[in-house]
Amino acid sequence: MSLVNSKKMFEQAYKNGYAIGAFNVNNMEIVQGITEACKEENAPVILQVSKGARAYANHTYLVKLVEAAVIECPDIPIVLHLDHGPDFDTCKSCIDGGFTSVMIDYSSHPLDENIEETAKVVEYAHKYGVTVEGELGTLAGIEDEVSHAVGSYTRPEDVEKFVKGTGVDSLAIAIGTSHGAYKFKPEQCTVNEKGILVPPALRFDILKEVSKRLPNFPIVLHGSSSVPQEYVKMVNENGGKMPNAIGVPEEQLREAAKLSVCKINIDSDLRLAMTGTIRKFFNEHPDKFDPREYLKPARANIKEIVRHKLRDVLGCAGKADECK
């Protein structure tokens, strides 16, 4: 099958209590690791490209890599999505260039400007069957060019006006997740019996209030990596320096996926798996210099972590057929 938009996926995900994984792609090994996992698990998937990814790898290379994945994985539905589109022109260029879904992120602007710019993107996108994600509230943290020192939670009282005023297909909200590998400061956390830092819970009260106001409407969570401590350890034991990297507990994401959250964005966990694996390889094999030798285990570990997310966190393993 060819690339699809996110409409059918979100309908099924909403109805059946799971979420679609949205994984960021920047090069061939990442595209392969993710899609091989989805193929084996028979899972629908969203491959997303940020402004930073387009600057790094070039729009055409990314589109062609994703098109190659579509050919290699003919039985699973794949969406090509723009992550954090900064303005109408970037969204338009992606729509014209083969994307099947875009995000317009005007969340740091006043509500009325956010509505106006988002509506403009929706009007253009829908002419081409492209679905649109908007955002209300801001996430703290750093992700490519998107950076905020402090976040602000989504105000549930704004959501109906925003969705009605724009016609968006899904809405990203801020309930305590954040971008990057340092989502919480140690002082925000409590320590459990094993001595592991436990971050504060996501604001499920806001999620539930938003869902009450927007029945049957798909919600998106950004910044939802869990920062697996095994990989943080692997990085740190092999010359890296990532003290106090903390993510969102997977049980909370599983809980959100059972509710109205239909798309969960995961990027840092894949970066960590890749970097940890390569650092370990270099440490153990200082004589090796063939990129294929260290990219191969990195790709294999990306695949493993994605499989785990599909099965144990998102709940979308085995759901490819119903999303077609």
> By the criterion CB under 5 A, which residues form the site for Zn ion?
222
Task: Output the CA–CA distances (angstroms, integers) from residue 204 to 112, 167, 170, 186, 201, in the order listed.
Answer: 26, 25, 18, 22, 8
Closest CA to 270 of 312, 226, 234: 226
Residue 301 burial (C-beta neighbours within 10 Å; 0-12, 13-18, 19+) = buried
105 as an active site residue: the answer is no
Pull the structure tokens for residue 312.
């144990």
Q: Could you tell me if 279 and 241 are in contact, meaning their C-beta atoms sit under 8 angstroms apart? A: no
Residue nearest to Zn ion (CB): 222
What is the smallest separation between the CB atom of 265 and Zn ion, expressed in angstroms?
A: 6
Of 138 and 252, CB closest to Zn ion:
138
d(CA 206, CA 322): 30
Q: Count Cα neighbours of 247 within 13 Å in the Cβ-side half-sphere.
A: 27
What is the smallest separation between the CB atom of 147 and Zn ion, expressed in angstroms?
A: 11
Task: Output the CA–CA distances (angstroms, integers) from residue 22 to 161, 233, 241, 318, in the order listed.
Answer: 26, 25, 27, 16
Of 222 and 308, CB closest to Zn ion:
222
Of 147 and 188, CB closest to Zn ion:
147
What is the smallest separation between the CB atom of 271 and Zn ion, expressed in angstroms?
A: 14
Q: Could you tell me if 25 and 34 are in contact, meaning their C-beta atoms sit under 8 angstroms apart? A: yes
What is the smallest separation between the CB atom of 179 and Zn ion, expressed in angstroms?
A: 6
DSSP letter for 186, please. Answer: G
What is the smallest separation between the CB atom of 205 and Zn ion, expressed in angstroms?
A: 22
Of 183 and 222, CB closest to Zn ion:
222
What is the smallest separation between the CB atom of 168 and Zn ion, expressed in angstroms?
A: 16
3-state secondary structure of 246: strand
Of 248 and 278, CB closest to Zn ion:
248
Of 140 and 234, CB closest to Zn ion:
140
Task: Output the CA–CA distances (angstroms, integers) from residue 97 to 63, 145, 258, in the order listed.
Answer: 8, 21, 34
Q: 185-210 burial, b if ≥16 CB within 10 A, otherwise e?
A: eeeeeeeeeeeebebeebbeebbebb
Q: Which of the residues 75, 83, 158, 287 is marked catalytic?
A: 83
Pull the structure tokens for residue 194.
């094993």
Residue 137 burial (C-beta neighbours within 10 Å; 0-12, 13-18, 19+) = buried
What is the smallest separation between the CB atom of 143 and Zn ion, expressed in angstroms?
A: 5
Q: Could you tell me if 246 and 266 are in contact, meaning their C-beta atoms sit under 8 angstroms apart? A: no
Of 70 and 173, CB closest to Zn ion:
173
Task: Give the catalytic positions in this structure.
Answer: 83
